[in-house]
Structures are given as structure tokens and as C-alpha cells.
Amino acid sequence: MHQTESIAAEPEVGAAPEITAVPAKLGRAIVVTSGKGGVGKTTTTANLGTALANRGAKVVLIDADVGLRNLDILLGLESRVTHHLLDVLEDRVAIDDALVADKHSENLFLLAAAQSREKDEVETARMQSLVTSLRERFDYVLIDCPAGIELGFKNAVAGADEAIVICTPEVSAVRDVDRVVGLLGNRFRPQLVINRLRPQLVKKGKMLSVDDVNSILRLPLLGVIADEPEIIVTTNRGEPLALRRDTPTGAAYHAIAARVAGEDVPAPMPPAAKGSLLERIGSLFGGKRT
Amino acid sequence: MIEFLKRLFGHQGSSATAKERLRLVLMTDHLELAPEMIEQMKRELVEVISRHVEVDRDHIDVTFERQDRTLALLANIPIISVNRPNGNGSTKRDEPGTPSAEPAKAKRTSASAKPADGETPPARKRRRRKKLKPSPAMTPLVSS
């Protein structure tokens, strides 16, 4: 009682002690971005969303790539999309009518992008308030950002409060991520997923390694995904690999999801490449090349 | 097999090339300065420093280095003499409170060169030492 009085007497000191009835904890809004196209933003969004939903979280995926809708394809939901992001933003349909329930994971929903519209038709402020309203209902709002750093990027980022950046081990991709991280600033606490790594090539010195990439980007590493043919197969089928936890890549997505959720598990790494027979013989004779 | 022999003889993989290209491209990205501007900056820097000390203009090394998410300018400018190059014998303006006795000044010559030396990669050290060799010749310059 005494304390309350003293706080009331000095309002500038008192951080009001829980007077307001705070609404249930807001979910997290995470934008998945990269700058460069074709590095796996959509694939990562689909798989991370699937993995998070399988952990029991309520997840909504927003395809912010207006004009180039693809997230529905990766999830195998293309035939179920009836309304899209702009329908909601322009008040033509209620959000619940536009959300598409996932086939495989009951906690997972998709808000598809408009296919025949353009990115600059999205109103940033509306996008922002849409994401905020979704955060009240979902544990995670994952926003699949379009490539580029123009308006489409700005709109995708508008409602987010965290970022996951996707980078492949290529000069161009690293450069673009560096730029995007610079644009995001510290507010989004960007975390890194390195995608499409080929351990064999890294071993031969023909591809940038995880350390090469992250010695430049210096971001918290969520995990590394190897370039595996099975990703193409699952994309063909519209079934994210994260559904198959028994595969190395599926398990890697689950580990990334666990890390996103704050669990203290090691960042998944692709298995180190085995050297060729000749190289192994070479290393027997004291070659310590790595 | 060829690959193996190449590696055996220390051939660098293309990832090393990628790394170096990346380093350079990011350096200029972060600077947002054209190479000519960097050159000019170097010249102006040397000009300012030359007002106070005589520098070895042929062995100036200005580089940029990333430190976390910022960029640092590292300038390695060998000093030949602390004297003004055109030596009008004026006393040093920024020597706080040391009434300058000539021998003490001569000592400071090498002292001021040392910190820079400490920061250079080992490969450059030898060169720097050579540069410092003529220091006996500096003493008369200073005392003049």
C-alpha cells in the first residue's frame, strides 16, 4: 500500500504495476526474407510453418508475394484458395473466409497472395493492422516476403517484429542478405538460415562454407539445410518435407522450429561430406586438408 | 584424380575466390563510396598528417575492415620523422606539458611509430623496421 502511494506521488518513476488487463499474449510475427530471389524463402516458410504447427502451435502463413503466389503450391493448397490477401485488406471478405486450412496440420492456416494484382496495391498500414489482429489469434504469423527491397518487401516487413533471413552459400545471396539486414536494422533481430548447402562442394573448396557465410553476416544461426533432391520431390507433390521427420531435412526443419520456439537445441547442420576413396587414402598419409 | 593432385599442390578452390570477391564487394557496398573517392580520401588524409609529421608516402596502406556490422578504416602510415617536412623549426603544438628537450623528442619519434607497428600484420613488420632504421639521421633533423 505504501509503495502504491509513493508511486502515485511520483508518476515519472512508477511503471504502472499491471493495472491494464493485458490481452492474452500476442503471437510472434516473423517475416521470412532474403533480398535475392530463389534462395528458398517460400520453401522455408512452408516447412517452418508445418514444423511449428506440428509442435502444437497455432500458425498462420501469409504469402506477401502479391502477383507471384506460390506458398499455396508448396503446401498443396492451390485448389482450396478462394480468397486472398487483398480481398481481406480491401474489406471484401472477412479474414476467416480467406484463411485456408492446411491439409496435413490442423493448426496451420494460409492466407494466399493475390495472383492477378500488384505489390504496390497493398496498403502498408492495412497490412500492419492485419498482422496485428492475426497475432491476437495465432502463436505465429509467418510472412513470406517477396524478393527485392522495394514496396513488396516493405509491406511484408511492416507488421513483423522479427525476421528470419535465408541465404544460400553464394556471393550474390550473401551480398543481398547483408543489404536486407542493413535495411531491417536491429528491431527485427534477424536470424539466419543457410539453405542449399552442398557439403561435398564445401569440402572440395568449391562452395562457401557455413563459417565463410556467417563470418560475414554474423547473425544468430538457426540452422543449415542441405541441398537435397528430396526437396524438389516434395515440392512437386505439395507436401513439405517437414511432414517427414524421419528424413534428415525434415528433422532439420523441426530443429529450426524448436530453436525458433526458444528451445535450446543445436542448430541443425548437414552431415559432413565423406571424402572420396582417394582423398581418404591421402589423408591417411598425413594430408590435413579440410 | 586431377582434382586430388591439384589440391595436393595447394590449388585453391573457387570458394576462396568467392570469399575474396564477397569481401571486396561488401566493403564497397558498406562504404557507398566510389573507388576514386577512397583514393582522394587517402590523399587528403596523408596531406593532413604530413602537416605535422613526415610520412613515407610510398608505403601508405589504407584499408577497410569489417568489425561486426560496422566498418573500420585502418590506416598504416609509416612516419619518417616527427619534424615538419619543411622544417621551420616551430615547437610541436600538441605535446601536452612536456617542455621539449631534444633527446626526449628523438625518442618519441620511435615511440610514436611503435603503436602503428604493433597493429600491422606480421608480414609487414620487417618492412616497417627497415623504415625505422634511419632514425639516427632523424636526430639532427629534430634538433635543428
In the structure grid, which three cell numbers stand for residue A60, read together? 498462420
Would you place residue A266 in the very low, low, confident or very high pLDDT band (cuts 50, 70, 90)?
very high
In a domain, A9, yes or no: no
- Among left, alpha and beta (phi > 0; psi -120 to 50; other), residue A266 is beta
CA A149, CA A183: separation in Å to the nearest integer?
A: 9
Q: Which residues of A touch B16 (CB under 8 A)?
A: 205
Strands of the A100-101 sheet, one edge to the other: A100-101, A108-111, A59-63, A140-144, A28-33, A162-167, A191-197, A221-226
| Helix (H/G/I), strand (E/B), else coil: A30 | strand
Q: Which of residues 120-179 of A touch B (CB under 8 A)?
A: 170-171, 174-175, 178-179
Q: Domain limits at A157?
A: 23-272
How do residues A57-87 score in pLDDT, each as one tens digit? 999 999 999 999 999 999 999 999 999 999 9
Nearest residue of chain B to residue A171 (CA atoms): B22
CA B100, CA B119: separation in Å to the nearest integer?
A: 28
Which string of b and e fits A11-30 if b means at least 16 CB within 10 Å?
A: eeeeeeeeeeeeeeebbbbb
Inter-chain touch B22–A174, beta carbons under 8 Å: yes
In a domain, A39, yes or no: yes
Q: Which residues of A touch B22 (CB under 8 A)?
A: 171, 174-175, 208, 216
In the structure grid, which three cell numbers stand for residue A116, read together? 492477378
ipTM: 0.73
In a domain, A18, yes or no: no
More confident position, B30 or A201: A201
How do residues A105-134 score in pLDDT, each as one tens digit? 999 999 999 999 999 899 999 999 999 999
Q: Provide the shortest C-alpha distance from residue B8 to chain A (in Å).
A: 8
In a domain, A240, yes or no: yes
- Among left, alpha and beta (phi > 0; psi -120 to 50; other), residue B72 is beta
* Number of domains comprising chain A: 1
In the structure grid, which three cell numbers stand for residue A198, read together? 552442398
In a domain, A83, yes or no: yes
Q: C-alpha distances in angstroms, A176 versus A150, B29, B42, B69, B71?
A: 13, 10, 28, 15, 17
Q: C-alpha distances in angstroms, A169 versus A46, A179, A202?
A: 21, 15, 9
Inter-chain touch A282–B18, beta carbons under 8 Å: no
Q: Provide the shortest C-alpha distance from residue A213 to chain B (in Å).
A: 8
In a domain, A251, yes or no: yes
Global pTM reads 0.69
Q: Provide the shortest C-alpha distance from residue A40 to chain B (in Å).
A: 21
CA A232, CA A236: separation in Å to the nearest integer?
A: 6
- Predicted pLDDT of residue A177: 97
Inter-chain touch A208–B23, beta carbons under 8 Å: no
In a domain, A8, yes or no: no
More confident position, B59 or B100: B59
- Specify the CATH number for the domain of residue A217: 3.40.50.300
In a domain, A33, yes or no: yes
Q: Which of A21-35, A122-136, A153-167, B61-75 has the lowest mean pLDDT?
A: B61-75
